Structure 1
Amino acid sequence: MSKLLVSATGLAAAAALTLGGTGAQASSTTLLPAGHSFAAQLTGKATFVAGSTTMTCTVSASVPSAGTNNRIPAAPANHNDAGPVTVPIDPPTFSGCGTSITGVGVTVTTNATNGAWTLSVQNGAPAAGGFTIPKGGVILKTSGFATCTITASPAGPTTVNGTWTNGAPSTLAIGQAPVPATVTGGFLCPTGNQSATFSATYSITDTSDPAQQITVTG
């Protein structure tokens, strides 16, 4: 019987990252079109890798709802002279999930109980983008012979950074971004402070005017 393994290696490296790097002043960023709403839709698969276990979801999205989430600020707030532009978003949903261990299933839920989810973008070559997960913002629960609860970002917000590519539609690709986690559960669960990684590619589409594209420029 296989254990659900989660490696603690890299926990310190999973602290929130700053788009645009450190040391040098970041370039100016503008997110367009100003005032438009957008959706982030998964293309392919989203993977959470925890030690020797891969948890995969085939459906994920953050779509506009009430309020200002998933909406680019009106000008001039959609521009930053020296850094990223950040937009609050609705927590992305995940479904169609499974694990690489026979007999172990997984469900993934998200929340904004302890803070907002955000999308941040930074102009550059290449442009960068990332989601910030609030404290406890993702909870993975396995079922079957290993019943564990994995809580991502247990101590505070974590940013999972990737590469932004302007296009029709634009995309945000995140590859093996480290995420701290805490695991609780039975004797097959590696309880305590652990670490996982997250990989996914999202298409970013304009829901105010589908004929236009969400773009990052200077």
Structure 2
Amino acid sequence: MSRTRTLRGHALLATGAGLATAAALTLAGTATALPTGAAAASTTVTPAGHYFKATLSGKATFKAGSVTVTCSVSVSAPTSPTGTDAKNQIPAAPGNTNASGPVGGPLSAPTYSSCTSSLPGVTSTVTTSGNWGVSVQNGSPVTAGLTIPTGGFVLQTSGLASCTVTAAPTSAATVTGTWTNGAPSKLAFTNVSVPVKVVGGFGCPTSSTTSTFTVAYDVTDVTDPAQQITVTG
């Protein structure tokens, strides 16, 4: 799934930070591996088989060098019509339970818009593509792993600085965040680092090899809006 959006400031998208944020969540299909060190406790995600939507809560910020990009709109939703595929779907039972590890699956590539940049005179577009994924591991706190496919997030700027920032440039990258049950539940990544490659001329942070981002998503049940997406043991 590919989406291009003018980032009201994804100017340097922390050279790829947006990529990690976009990913925001998926609990369906094949589990996405969590970073080494995640507790191998039992994990159950409910309601089994339901589809979910991830909507940006607050603002997403991306930093690369001295450049900061702030976005106020980001969404990852099931493929339309709902039920077309397993993206943004909690696995059906018993796949929604793992006795000794995380539960995860494919995620629709998130879109970004309404962004602003700390660089004056710069406009940006973002394209997301490929097979995104997310997994959750029960614990205190509940751990989340977001996987960005190789080159799955590309930020291009124009104006005073013409740059191309590619996240996970050589291989898929997984970043770690937290999940909080609630109404709605939340998926958050705070000051997370993702590898990037920056190409461009004057004003572009071409020496940067990583970018950091902070973002949080509200996760809601699309199949039955009256229910909540919950992670337990």
TM-score w.r.t. the length of structure 1 is: 0.86
Alpha-carbon distance in 1 for matches of 2:165, 2:194: 11
Of 187, 205, 208 in structure 1, the residue corresponding to residue 202 of structure 2 is 187
Match status 1:109 vs 2:127: yes
Alpha-carbon distance in 2 for matches of 1:170, 1:162: 14
Of 81, 87, 96 in structure 1, the residue corresponding to residue 99 of structure 2 is 81
Aligned residue pairs total: 202
Match status 1:156 vs 2:171: yes
Alpha-carbon RMSD across the aligned residues, in angstroms, is 2.1
Which residue does 2:58 correspond to in 1? 44
Flag the structure with larger Rg: 1
Alpha-carbon distance in 2 for matches of 1:189, 1:27: 44
Which residue does 1:11 correspond to in 2? none
- The list of structure 1 runs, each at least 4 consecutive aligned residues, that deviate by more than 4 angstroms after superposition, is none
Contact kept, 8 Å, 1:61 with 1:93, in 2: the verdict is yes
CA offset at residue 173 of structure 1? 1.2
Match status 1:141 vs 2:159: no
Which residue does 1:210 correspond to in 2? 225
Letter in 2 for 1:74: A
Letter in 2 for 1:59: V
Match status 1:53 vs 2:71: no
What are the superposed Cα offsets for residues 34-64 of structure 1, whole Å, 9 maximum, x if unpaired? 0000001001111111011111111001001
Kindly indicate whether structure 1 or structure 2 has the higher relative contact order, using CA contacts under 8 Å at least 6 residues apart.
2
Pick the structure with more strand per residue: 1
Contact kept, 8 Å, 1:89 with 1:117, in 2: the verdict is yes
CA offset at residue 105 of structure 1? 2.3
Which residue does 1:93 correspond to in 2? 111
Contact kept, 8 Å, 2:195 with 2:210, in 1: the verdict is yes
Which residue does 1:12 correspond to in 2? none
Contact kept, 8 Å, 2:163 with 2:198, in 1: the verdict is yes
Alpha-carbon distance in 1 for matches of 2:96, 2:46: 7
Structure 2 unaligned spans of 5+: 1-11, 16-31
Which residue does 1:64 correspond to in 2? 78
Structure 1 unaligned spans of 5+: 8-16
Alpha-carbon distance in 2 for matches of 1:40, 1:189: 31
CA offset at residue 193 of structure 1? 6.0
